[in-house]
Structure 1
Amino acid sequence: MQRYFVAPEQFRDGAITITGEDAHHAARVMRMKPDEEIIVCDGAGRSVKAVVIEVSPLEIRAKAIEVLAQDSEPAWQITIAQGLPKGDKMELVIQKGTEIGASSFVPFESERVIVQYDGKKEAKRIERWGKIAKEAAEQAHRHTIPTIESVKSWRQMLATIEQYDLALFCYEREGADAHGRGIAKAVREWKASRNINNEFVQDDVSPRILLMVGPEGGFSEREAVEVEAAGAVLVGLGKRILRTETAGLVGLTCLLYESGEMEGA
């Protein structure tokens, strides 16, 4: 069953309107017909099964017939803060991170970022990243689309750390030869200090966790010192050196496992 995201204003009193590229794709590519059933989410916590009433390349009209449970979103709100990578690697991080369960993405500049950031192109780039997140959320049957923030400077990134319940800084020295603390140990220590168990988290609170990943060249020692002073915990992702586009996805999966996401019913 096809899944679509619409803005809240396109979803009123059970009447749903799908426009733009989604309407064109549904009408021309999917050959949608009246009386077909679809799933529609407004990205703000409402998902329904709907029946199509009218189809055109400009607009699809549908009517909600059943409210669906919001059961595919992770218990923890996990933000991947990604040091700007080269080429289209950020697109991969957003696509796969959305499928796995990230709640938001924050690209940022750091000391060893190789790519030259062009602020003039940011709006177009954010728009493209948002489209990738939307399509990935539809494919993964999510009820919300992750947010993608504008590119932050290193200082701006440091200033946001205090907004999170836990901030993890993926630093290769923490993983090499078991030099330091692994991500699983750090998360379990945090859970113990907060008296958090998975059942409690899922039922009552939704912790906000920040996962910081460096660019191709990793982080510098100076950055590690500064981020730890700002309140983040330095963690490793194992003894192997991961590519920048791999590290965040591995860290995200580890966090979801520790949240109880993988336990099943």
Structure 2
Amino acid sequence: MQRYFIDQNADVSQRFFITKKEDIHHITNVMRYDVGSKIILTFNDQTVYLCEIADITSDKIAVDLKEKQNINTELPVDVTICSGLIKADKYEWLLQKATELGASSFIAVSMERSIVKLNEAKVAKKIERWQKIIKEAAEQSCRLVIPSIQFESNLKLICDTIDNYDYILIAYEEEAKDGELSNFKQTLQQFKAQDKVLMIFGPEGGLSENEISLFSNTSTVVGLGPRILRAETAPLYALSAISYEKELMG
């Protein structure tokens, strides 16, 4: 059943209205739903309801809440993926898949070795496109929240936010080359429910030693197994490992 997000808290005593143009278009023109059709709505308070369409007009769709759905699809820990800018199609694929795997937020950073450069005048347009990709992936994967995304012009700016996190992990390919296999596993085992984790990944050219040094006193440098992963693959590996450790292993 098709799922949509609504920017309100749930209240079974009232009727709700879907007003976002893209959602109205999808419901009426793509899915071809009509009055009486059922959809799933996810609310700001992370509650999920089976709803019935009560009325459709050109600028809004009225829905009535029918049955609460008791589900939890969020990772036990709050993971922010901070990664260097990479080629557009690869980064958009990364956003889609990382959203499916449970990332809570994204930070796109223009790093020293980033081949791709983002013009300041185009930042707002890019973020709008990225957020749309994230929203659609969140709906498809039954997420309870839509991950956020922001852009920073260099990694130094992230240093000002380190107090917001319980753990900062830096995925560094030199660690993998040197055979380091234990730091990531040991750190994963320390994560507790609701911990906030920042994971930093380089672009195609990797992180520079200068960028690594920015977090030398506040982070754990980890290798992600014995193989060298692509820039768009490494975050997915990390999220999968976190899911395995904290969801499947309990």
TM range (shorter): over 0.9
**Alignment partners' CA distance in 2, 1:58 and 1:11:** 22
- Given that 1:174 and 1:182 are in contact with CA atoms closer than 8 Å, whether structure 2 keeps it comes out as no
Alignment-mate amino acid for residue 37 of structure 2: E
Runs of 4+ aligned residues of structure 1 deviating over 6 Å after TM superposition are: 9-12
Instruction: Indicate the residue corresponding to 1:210 in structure 2.
Output: 198
After superposition, give the CA deviation of every residue in 1:9-39 in whole Å (9 maximum; x if it has no partner): 8979531211211111211121101111111
Which structure: greater helix fraction?
Answer: 1
Q: 1:32 to 1:180 in 2, by over 3 A?
A: closer
Task: Find out whether 1:68 has 2:55 as its counterpart.
Answer: no
**Alignment partners' CA distance in 1, 2:151 and 2:186:** 31
Q: 1:9 to 1:58 in 2, by over 3 A?
A: farther
Q: 1:15 to 1:31 in 2, by over 3 A?
A: same
What is the percent sequence identity of the aligned residues?
A: 38
Task: Find out whether 1:236 has 2:237 as its counterpart.
Answer: no
Deviation of 1:152 (Å): 4.5
Instruction: Indicate the residue corresponding to 2:5 in structure 1.
Output: 5
Task: Find out whether 1:245 has 2:246 as its counterpart.
Answer: no
Deviation of 1:8 (Å): 1.5
Task: Find out whether 1:142 has 2:143 as its counterpart.
Answer: yes
**Alignment partners' CA distance in 2, 1:263 and 1:37:** 35
Matches for 1:78-157 after TM superposition, within 5 Å: 78-157=79-158
Q: 1:43 to 1:93 in 2, by over 3 A?
A: farther
- Given that 1:175 and 1:181 are in contact with CA atoms closer than 8 Å, whether structure 2 keeps it comes out as no
Report SS of the residue matched to 1:94: helix
**Alignment partners' CA distance in 2, 1:242 and 1:176:** 11
**Alignment partners' CA distance in 1, 2:31 and 2:122:** 33
Report SS of the residue matched to 2:61: strand
**Alignment partners' CA distance in 2, 1:131 and 1:63:** 26
Deviation of 1:132 (Å): 0.6
Report SS of the residue matched to 1:238: coil
**Alignment partners' CA distance in 2, 1:13 and 1:129:** 35
Report SS of the residue matched to 1:228: coil
Deviation of 1:108 (Å): 1.2
Alignment-mate amino acid for residue 234 of structure 1: V
Which stretch has the larger CA shift, 172-181 or 134-143? 172-181
Deviation of 1:225 (Å): 2.2
Alignment-mate amino acid for residue 27 of structure 2: A
Deviation of 1:51 (Å): 0.8
Report SS of the residue matched to 2:228: coil
Instruction: Indicate the residue corresponding to 2:161 in structure 1.
Output: 160
**Alignment partners' CA distance in 1, 2:44 and 2:34:** 25
Instruction: Indicate the residue corresponding to 2:27 in structure 1.
Output: 26
**Alignment partners' CA distance in 2, 1:23 and 1:234:** 46
**Alignment partners' CA distance in 1, 2:151 and 2:43:** 22
TM-score, normalised to structure 2, is 0.92
Task: Find out whether 1:175 has 2:176 as its counterpart.
Answer: yes
Deviation of 1:44 (Å): 3.4
After superposition, give the CA deviation of every residue in 1:184-216 in whole Å (9 maximum; x if it has no partner): 12323x34xxxx5xxxx3xxxx11011111000
Report SS of the residue matched to 2:237: helix
Task: Find out whether 1:226 has 2:214 as its counterpart.
Answer: yes
**Alignment partners' CA distance in 2, 1:105 and 1:152:** 14
Q: 1:49 to 1:23 in 2, by over 3 A?
A: same
Q: 1:179 to 1:243 in 2, by over 3 A?
A: same
Deviation of 1:263 (Å): 3.7
